Amino acid sequence: MSPRRDLLKAAAVLTGGAALSAKTSRSAVLAFVGTYETKASRSGILVYEVAPQTGALSRRDFFPHHFNPFWLALSASGEFLYTANETGTFEGRKTGAVSAFAIERDSCRVSWLNDVDSQGTGPAHLSIHPSGRYVFVANYDGGNFAVLPVLPDGRLGAATDCRGGDGAAGPERAAASAPPGSYAISGHDAPHPHMIQSDPSGRYVLGADLGLDRILIWKFDEQTGKLTPNDPASVSLPPGDGPRHFVFHANRRWLYSIQEEASTIVLFDFDAASGRLSQRQTVSSLPHGFTGTSFASEILVSSDSRFVYAANRLHDSITAFSIGDDGTLSFAEETWTRGDYPNLVNFDPGGAFLYSCNQRSDAITSFRVNRRTGRLTFTGQYTPVPAPSSIVFLS
């Protein structure tokens, strides 16, 4: 038996077969997981109940969705779920799709509301404006960002705006800041938007374009749903580094950006009045002395705002950094993900557990978070999930 199948067999034993249940308490924490289509399974959305003391995931429902729901986002009310679907064809046209779902809390199920054109192929990320009135989507293959209005019943409307990054793509060679011996080369043939999210105030919208090696910045008009380039309209990262995702600190003054090809984290100061970013520190997301190839995937700030966590694919690790009084990062420790290719990591709502979606080993692993030291301790739990792409939580 292959190591991958050994892992799945062990996971089934550890989770007790993940029996389905028709009813749960309204106070229970739910987890929603997006999955890719594989030769052995359909893509779709899995729903789990989270055990508060152990962090264990118990399967409650599966909604098959052939569009590959790569990225998931929950409305602030917890009534709706939105997915960026990694597809290149929608309604017979060369474009992508975003889907809206209603959440049936009592039955732990989701029900489909509608699908809309994302305005570009291969949507890779979406987020919800603080007002709850708009969904932003980054179309990786399509090379653009779009704004979709949220209708009163939770469905999505046709795009109110669509913007692409201007300028030449970065170099198709090893990233300028990559570790020695790295061959992490991808996505620099054209613009490739990888994330879009507003600042905490909702006045500005930021978009990470991996292909352009830039973070784009727009002013956002909440009344019209339109984006207007800020001044300056972007901030550049080193050639070939490939900005993938970013996260704001709770103080709203610091932004941490993770670069996929370079495996670096850059600290920016964010001016909430002008929307400007100023670079201040760069550190590797990998352990000191690492040589070779790895692709960084996700970056998080802990719920108490004391630590930053970064996920590394191929190296298959999660690194923790302590946050200094001035926002600068200091390496704390690294943890093996116990799986292959952590596409996304995320905290439960209380910040007590961190979950790793290990795409190539068909499992989600969980870790208990030490609030004092930032250390992650493996819980011993493997939840079998075919090609998990993302996980979000509803409390």
What pLDDT, in 10s, does the model give residues 232-249?
999 999 999 999 999 999
Burial of residue 155, with CB atoms counted within 10 A of its CB: 0-12 exposed, 13-18 middle, 19 or more buried: middle
Strand partners, 136: 127, 147
- Which pLDDT belongs to residue 19? 42
DSSP string, 275-339: TEEEEEEEEESS-TT--S--EEEEEEE-TTSSEEEEEEETTTEEEEEEEPTTS-EEEEEEEE-SS
Q: What angle do CA 148, 149, 154 make, to 5 degrees?
A: 115
Whole-angstrom distance, CA of residue 253 vs CA of residue 271: 7
pLDDT at 129: 98
pLDDT digits (tens, 9 = 90+) for 328-346: 999 999 999 999 999 999 9
Element (DSSP H or E) covering residue 84: strand 80-85
Per-residue confidence (pLDDT) for residue 126, from 0 to 100: 98
pLDDT at 23: 60
Contact (Cβ atoms closer than 8 angstroms) between residue 43 and residue 35: yes
Low-confidence ranges of the chain (pLDDT < 50): 1-21
Residue 386 Cα to chain centre, angstroms: 18
What was the pLDDT predicted at 205?
A: 98
- Rounded-to-integer distance, Cα 218 and Cα 147, Å: 12
**Would you state the pLDDT for residue 294?**
96
The pLDDT value given to residue 66: 79
Query: What pLDDT is recorded for position 347?
Result: 98
